[in-house]
Amino acid sequence: MSVKSKNIILKVLVIIIILLPVASWSGCKKQARCGCGKDVVNTIDSMLIDHSTITFTAGGGSAYFQIGYNTYYFCNALEMYPKYTSMNNDDQMLLSGDLFWECQYLMNSSNNYYTRYYKVYNIQVTLMAPYLYGKK
């Protein structure tokens, strides 16, 4: 093999080594947007919860509930407050809605060890209805 052909092969290898990482890079990963009405993380469909699980502030300005290690803050607490107060305290209810990341949680999740175990969401409630199985 001649010196000239070795130089050509070496140059081609250098170009491949430089261009291969550039060609394989797919760009930045889009970070999820937080807050109500942004990027939907998940949808809850007819989750059965106890009436007493939900905590509303006086006047229904805000509301939240916890299931396991996860916390859910209502996006539309004022809208759901009349439905909540019309139910009995010992009732169970069906709850549906879209989940979004809660902004404070999302900002702290990258540098906090405990966010592996608990999640904090905003929920846009679309259904809050009494669960009347076996009741009249």
For the stretch 6-40, pLDDT in tens is: 778 878 777 777 776 666 666 666 666 888 988 89
CA dist 133 and 136 (Å) reads: 8
Res 136: pLDDT: 54
Asked whether 105 and 119 are in contact (CB, 8 A), the reply is: yes
Q: Are 46 and 92 in contact (CB under 8 A)?
A: no
Distance of CA 65 to the CA centre of its chain: 15
pTM, 2 dp: 0.73
Distance (Å, whole) CA 82 – CA 92: 16
pLDDT one-digit tens code per residue, 96-128: 999 999 988 877 777 666 666 788 999 999 999
| Average pLDDT over every residue of 60-74 | 93
Does the pLDDT value for residue 1 go beyond 70? no
**If you search the block for the tokens 């809850």, which residue do you land on?**
44
More confident residue, 109 or 85: 85
